[in-house]
Structure 1
């Protein structure tokens, strides 16, 4: 059921997904073709915000911080996993893997490689601030508009 808290959570994590994607673009080589990278991550942030953060709103201010951190962690996990799956699929179409087990293992290797880009003080601060803002705004809206 749509609620104001789910909507705000979706909007907050969509904004965080977009801003963090634009920030990641500055950390990678300029020759990288990103395509719809930022838009995809914003849409993914909206979905994660709606289902993960929005559904857990209304449990109190203390739980709001944990709710925001959980939402950001879920966004990071799903973004890394889906982008790694896409990259593995692209490489498998070029016949880079000998079998399906090697391709499946490559998903995690690629995900770890992509994750190392996120271990940057600027990214970590952005994720922390985004988690706090998302959690508190969602909780505020949940209390304000039932």
Structure 2
């Protein structure tokens, strides 16, 4: 059911996903073709904000903070998963894998490499500050517009 809290969470996490994408771009190897990178992460932010954060809004200030932190962590996990799968498919089309199990295993290896690349102070601090804003803002929206 659409609520104001879901809308606020989706829009704010969408903006955070786009901002984090711009912070992550310089951390990737030179010559990386980003394509729809920012837009995919913004869409993931919309989805996670609507389903994860917005559905659990209105329980109080501290649960709101926890909700924001959880939603941001889920955004990172979904982002790593989506972009790792895309990279695996790109490599699979170049016949880099001997079989399907090797390709599936490569998703986790690629995700761990990406995770280590983006685990820098500016990215993590921005994510935490964004989560600390998004959680209480969503909780406030849930209380204001019931």
Partners of 1:62 and 1:2 in 2: CA distance: 23
Partners of 1:76 and 1:45 in 2: CA distance: 9
Alignment deviations for residues 17-65 of structure 1 (CA, whole Å, 9 cap, x no partner): 0000011112223421111100110011000000000000011111011
Partners of 1:9 and 1:64 in 2: CA distance: 11
- Corresponding position of 1:116: 116
Q: Secondary structure at the match of 2:29?
A: coil
Question: How many residue pairs end up in the alignment?
Answer: 146
Partners of 2:101 and 2:30 in 1: CA distance: 32
Partners of 2:19 and 2:45 in 1: CA distance: 11
Unaligned runs of 5+ in 1: none
TM-score by length of 1: 0.98
Show structure 1 runs of 4+ deviating over 2 A.
none
TM-score by length of 2: 0.98
Aligned CA-pair RMSD: 0.8
Query: Given that residues 6 and 51 in structure 2 are in contact (C-alpha distance below 8 angstroms), is that contact kept between their aligned partners in structure 1?
Result: yes
Partners of 2:44 and 2:121 in 1: CA distance: 23
- Corresponding position of 1:2: 2
